[in-house]
Amino acid sequence: MENTLYYGDNLEILRNHIADNSVDLIYLDPPFNSKADYNILFKEPTGEPSKAQITAFEDTWHWTIEAERTYQEIIRTAPASVVEMMRAFRQFVGLNDVMAYLTMMCIRLIELKRVLKDTGSIYLHCDPTASHYLKILMDTVFGKKNFRNEIIWHYKTGGVSKRWFGRKHDIIFFYARKGDSDYVFNLHKEKSYMMHKYGFKKSDFQEDDLGQYSMTYLKDVFIIPAIGSADKQRLGYPTQKPESLLERIVKASSKEGDAVLDPFCGCGTSIAVAQGLNRNWIGIDITHLAINLIKWRLKNTFELEPKRDYDVIGEPEDLAGAKELASQDRFQFQWWALSMIDARPYGDKKKGADTGIDGFIYFMDRKNEYKKVIVQVKSGKTQVGDIRDLCHVIDREDAVIGLFVTLENPTQPMIEEAAAKGFYKSNITKKDYPKIQILTIDNIFKGKKPGLPQQFCISPYEKAERVVPKKQNEMFDN
């Protein structure tokens, strides 16, 4: 199986691209119906928080005609036990956001069961918002006899409340595809620093910087710190999970060469862990923000490049594909186009007024001195007034260069207006760069890059720590 990233609705990807009984391990960390918006947290080159906080996804669900259509599909096509459970949910829960969420999850869990091998396992990550409903749904779809563990992931981050006990855990439901089969499970150990209090012999212990410890088999409570603000793993993505959490799951329920699937892969922690542990992988996400971040992570962590080392399905591969994406969703087109030139998105255009800024690129021009490039992305008709507007924006924002990225070829007046703005001279390279640059999507497909001191441009994302893939004999905790 080839390592593959898919952009798109995971339901359609599963149905159209993933074969029956082809996956060894599924981990999914879907939205929890928390009614919150989750942002990608960009930083300025100085390390300060940026205004460019983009909503990665909105974790709010509503009963719509599409939810009703999906529910009716479940009633028509799902096994009888699933149909009866969904009818009971509808009667008890009502037609509201919770029922919409359960309907969305049910149709996908049915497909995930189809693609999972008989020797495979599935881990569903959730929190107490909907875990009680999801447990019933998992029992119904996968069979309650195939339930193996309710894993508690305990962490210490976050605030406390005076109105209830501090909420410091998530829940992970572990099911074998067929509990009575020879499903993969590698029991392994972790360090325990408390066992010396229970009368064990001194010879049972070792010692490290944290003190004496013994090796004990893993229990169903995982005490693992969440991603902190200074953590080297931190990529600024909402709901990012620590690699050590995913390592336990991947080590326990797969072997080298097995296929790991994450249908809500976000910033790609499961993908990175699978790659590092010599597993094959499939990742699916519905935003180009996530897909681009995963590509960036794989490049910086493992030096992997798309097309050479893995496939990316669903991204535009030519001008016709770019136009199709623009016609479907101009925001996804905008984010995809920005990713093609390594620009960071700016602001949340779905919620705020248009500032004339779609993205930024920063580059260093003297030691600890950064210059700003404004990026505008246009998917429709363009005219000379657009270039004049960009000139005003770069003056207003004290930027040194403006990039105008467009699907359409520029007119001659646009080219002339851009040329009239002159050049910016870099203090480091001593080269001149046009202050207004027009770059077509067709140019980008042909390999053209913005005229910038590329070697001094700042990464749009925080870089993940580079790792070397682990060998089989290094897989267990030590």
**pTM for this prediction:** 0.84
26 found inside a domain: yes
Same domain, 297 and 167: yes
> Count of domains in the chain?
3
Residues 38, 290 contacting (CB under 8 angstroms): no
Cα–Cα distances in angstroms (integers) from residue 231 to residues 42, 172, 241, 292, in the given order: 15, 23, 12, 21
474 found inside a domain: no
Confidence of residue 196 (pLDDT cuts 50, 70, 90): low
Same domain, 199 and 287: no
Helix or strand holding residue 84 (H, E)? helix 80-93
Same domain, 197 and 246: no
Which of 165, 198, 216 is the last residue in one of the domains?
216
Closest to 99 in 3D by CA, of 110, 112, 85: 85
466 found inside a domain: no
What pLDDT, on a 0 to 100 scale, did the predictor assign at position 127? Answer: 85
Same domain, 196 and 129: no
What pLDDT, on a 0 to 100 scale, did the predictor assign at position 97? Answer: 86
Sign of the Cα pseudo-torsion (13, 19, 23, 26, in order): positive
Residue 425 scores a pLDDT above 60: yes
205 found inside a domain: yes
Same domain, 111 and 243: yes
Same domain, 287 and 211: no
- Strand-pair partners of 27: 123
What pLDDT, on a 0 to 100 scale, did the predictor assign at position 10? Answer: 92
332 found inside a domain: yes
Cα dihedral 80→84→86→90 (10° resolution)? 150
Same domain, 448 and 307: no
Same domain, 20 and 55: yes
Helix or strand holding residue 57 (H, E)? strand 49-59
463 found inside a domain: no
Calculate helix-pair angle for 65-77, 80-93, nearest 10 degrees. 150
Cα separation, 215 vs 193, whole angstroms:
9
464 found inside a domain: no
Residues 6, 13 contacting (CB under 8 angstroms): yes
What pLDDT, on a 0 to 100 scale, did the predictor assign at position 459? Answer: 76
Confidence of residue 51 (pLDDT cuts 50, 70, 90): very low
The model's pLDDT over 291-343, given as tens digits with 9 standing for 90+, comes to: 988 998 999 899 999 999 999 999 899 999 999 999 988 888 998 999 899 89
Residue 192 lies in domain: 185-216
- Strand-pair partners of 124: 28, 173
Which of 292, 315, 338 is the last residue in one of the domains?
315
Same domain, 233 and 191: no
The model's pLDDT over 32-49, given as tens digits with 9 standing for 90+, comes to: 654 544 444 444 455 554
Cα–Cα distances in angstroms (integers) from residue 464 to residues 37, 235, 455, in the given order: 24, 7, 19
Same domain, 101 and 156: yes
Confidence of residue 183 (pLDDT cuts 50, 70, 90): very high
Same domain, 136 and 212: no
What is the pLDDT averaged over residues 78-97? 95
- % of the chain at pLDDT higher than 90: 61
441 found inside a domain: yes
Same domain, 370 and 447: yes
